[in-house]
Chains A and B, each alone.
Chain A
Amino acid sequence: MTEEEENLINEDLEVELVLEALLKKSDFDYRNYSRSHIKRRLNHRLAIEGYSKYSELIPQIIYNKTLLGKLLSDLSINVTEMFRDPSFFKELKKRVFPYIETYPFVRIWHAGCSSGQEVYSMAILLKEYGLYEKSQLYATDFNNDILEAAKNAIYPVDYIKKYTANYQQAGGENSFSDYYLAGYDSASITPTLKKNILFSFHNLVTDGIFGEMHIIMCRNVLIYFDKELQAKVLKLFAESLVPGGFLCLGSKESIRYSGVENMFDVVSTDEKIFRKRVL
């Protein structure tokens, strides 16, 4: 074994110990997250703090609350925008809404809702399709700070231009400005969109089945997990859907490598929409 290969094995051991320490000190369990993602985020913190080894983080995790907070915020990535991937929302309206239109009520779960942009996008879409009043949306995340931000729904006004463009490309039927109140440097989502949304804590790593859902939205969350955890979470989704319920993943995510593939039919290959089979 070369010196570099041995170093790599030692590094992996250090990362494992860092994640154990994080779990014991914070209750956040990152052990089954994609290892390459974790290393990248930890590298970022090492560079800032001027450390050369992952293991130097361990005493900091134990004794330094400030650094622990920073590390947890490094590891929590929240990339989201309203109507992100407009073509997805178009497809949702075309391929999924005609089915749910026939249901007496609709339950939708946004798993890993982050700061809420996607659940509000869904609310707008439902409203324009005349489905909002019979819908109950559940938006969950394992980060309480971000859940609070999602509830408040106040976004920097600089983002509104991008959101508006996305909304239009997604086939929005009104003016996007109908849905927010613009302030000096921020825009807040109008309260009428919040009425049927319930925000709550749920941890995909440790918590169980979440209701009998008609649609589960979980886009660009699974990519943070390793194969094992992905498979576990996809099984949880399969069990949380009614027969005929829809699962929506991110454009580069798949059910192919998880063992639940045979429980679903593909509704849209490009937009990663799947439908649970009626057995």
Chain B
Amino acid sequence: MVTPRIIVVGASAGGLSVLEKIISSIDVLPIPLVIVQHISPDSGDSVLRLLKKYSSIPFTEPIDKEGLEENHIYLAPPDYHVMIEHDKSFSLYLGPKENFCRPAIDLLFETAAEVYKDGVLGIILTGANRDGLRGCQKIKLFHGTVIAQNPEEAQVPVMPKAVVSEGLADHVLNIDEICIMINSVLKGVIDG
């Protein structure tokens, strides 16, 4: 695996409890981590407030044109797509829902791949639709790395299964193994 320069995570139905595990397992974060969790447009900052409790790392919803920073976790806000521009800044987007979702995982993953090339580590977690599939295709096109949650373990297997059955997942792991892998990868970043 190429040493990643960004981690992007996509989660849908059943995602909160696995995101809690991942976030609480990370102590040092030498690269940016960006999460899309499908949420209802009216949910305000409830998911942010919930997940923040599991980390001491700065954790916010990105603002339009804000630059991506290391040691920072970003969560896509309700009712906005989140994309990454070439200068490594966020672009918030009110375009149509994709895969019935806004925020949609595909938009984050695809633009991350175009900007960070082979330095993307994409993680696709539990969920009931196929959002993230095209995003993972793009990540693989640019030779990045894709981890899918083991569909057998996922609360809702459809989303990771779509990625696995298209042969896009470099690793298919249970959530505990995902946490171990993330941390060993991050250690690799720090050790250079």
15 more contacts with CB within 8 A, not counting A77-B94, A253-B64, A254-B63, are A36-B111, A37-B93, A40-B83, A41-B95, A44-B96, A220-B94, A223-B93, A227-B65, A252-B77, A252-B80, A253-B92, A254-B64, A254-B66, A257-B65, A257-B66
| Closest beta carbon of chain B to A161's beta carbon, Å | 13
Q: A interface, how many residues as a size bin?
A: 20 to 34
A sample of 23 inter-chain contacts (CB < 8 A) reads A2-B117, A4-B141, A4-B142, A8-B114, A34-B93, A35-B86, A36-B83, A36-B91, A36-B93, A37-B93, A40-B83, A40-B95, A222-B64, A223-B64, A223-B93, A226-B85, A227-B87, A252-B63, A252-B92, A253-B92, A254-B63, A254-B64, A254-B65
Known pairs A36-B111, A227-B89; A5 contacts B117 (CB<8 A): yes
Binding site for A on B (CB under 8 A): 61-66, 77, 80, 83-87, 89, 91-96, 107, 111, 114, 117, 141-143
List residues of chain A with CB under 8 Å of any chain B CB.
2, 4-5, 8, 34-37, 40-41, 44, 77, 79, 220, 222-223, 226-227, 230, 251-254, 256-257
A36 to B90, CA, bound (A): 10
The reply to whether B65 and A230 form a contact with Cβ atoms under 8 Å apart is yes
Chain B residues with CB under 8 Å of A257's CB are 65-66, 89
Given contacts A34-B85, A252-B80, contact A77 B65 (CB under 8 A): no
Name the distance in Å between B40's Cβ and chain A's nearest Cβ. 13
Distance, CA A36 to CA B64, complexed state (A): 12
- In whole Å, how far is A233's beta carbon from the nearest beta carbon of chain B? 13
A19 → chain B, closest Cβ, in Å? Answer: 16
Q: How far is the CB of B134 from chain A (nearest CB, A)?
A: 10
Given the complex of chains A and B, what is the CA–CA distance between A223 and B92 in angstroms? 6
Give the distance to chain B from A256, nearest Cβ to Cβ, in Å.
7
- Determine whether the beta carbon of B84 is less than 8 Å from that of A36: yes
Which residues from chain A contact B64 at a C-beta distance below 8 Å?
222-223, 252-254
Least Cβ distance of A71 to chain B in Å? Answer: 15
Cβ contacts under 8 Å, B86 to chain A: 35
Within the assembled complex, what's the spacing in Å between the Cα atoms of A125 and B93? Answer: 28
Q: How far is the CA of A44 from the CA of B62 in the complex (A)?
A: 25
A79/B89 in contact, CB under 8 A: no
Q: Are A79 and B94 in contact (CB under 8 A)?
A: yes
For the complex, what is the distance from the CA of A41 to the CA of B98, rounded to whole Å?
12
Pick the most buried of B77, B114, B117: most chain A CB atoms within 10 A of its CB: B114
In contact, A2 and B143 (Cβ under 8 angstroms): yes
Cα A223 to Cα B84 in complex, Å, equals: 13
- Nearest-neighbour CB distance to chain A for B45, whole angstroms, equals 9
Chain B neighbourhood of A253, CB < 8 A: 63-64, 92
Partner of A223, one of B61, B94, B111, B117: B94
A11 closest partner in B (C-beta)? B114
Q: What's the minimum C-beta distance from B189 to chain A, rounded to whole angstroms?
A: 22
User: Nearest chain B CB to A37's CB is how many angstroms away?
Assistant: 5
B35: min CB distance to chain A, Å: 16
Whole-angstrom CA separation of A35 from B77 in the bound complex: 21
Q: How many angstroms from the CA of A34 to the CA of B83 in the assembled complex?
A: 10
Please indicate the chain B residues that have their CB under 8 angstroms from the CB of A254 in the complex: 63-66
Contact A223 B142 (CB under 8 A): no
Contacts of A35 in B (CB 8 A): 85-86
Q: Which residue of A lies closest to B80 (CB)?
A: A252
Residues of B within 8 A of A34 (CB): 85, 91, 93
A40 lies within 8 A of B66 (CB): no
Cβ B95 vs Cβ A77 within 8 A: yes
Q: Interface centre among A36, A41, A220, by most B CB within 10 Å?
A: A36
Q: Are A37's CB and B95's CB within 8 A?
A: yes
Taking the closest CB of chain B, its distance from the CB of A141, in whole angstroms, is 16
Q: How many Å from the CB of A171 to the closest CB on chain B?
A: 16
User: Could you say which residues of chain A place their CB within 8 Å of the CB of B95?
Assistant: 37, 40-41, 77
A44 contacts across to B, CB distance below 8 A: 96
CA A252 to CA B66, docked complex, whole Å: 10
Kindly provide the distance from the CB of A75 to the nearest chain B CB, expressed in whole angstroms.
10
Kindly list the 6 A-B residue pairs having the minimum CB-CB distance in the complex, ordered from nearest.
Answer: A36-B83, A257-B65, A79-B94, A223-B64, A252-B92, A254-B63
In the assembled complex, the CB of A108 is this many whole angstroms from the nearest CB of chain B, namely 23
Question: What is the minimal beta-carbon distance from B110 to any residue of chain A, in angstroms?
Answer: 9
- Complex contacts, B61 vs chain A, CB 8 Å: 252
Q: Which residue of B lies closest to A253 (CB)?
A: B64
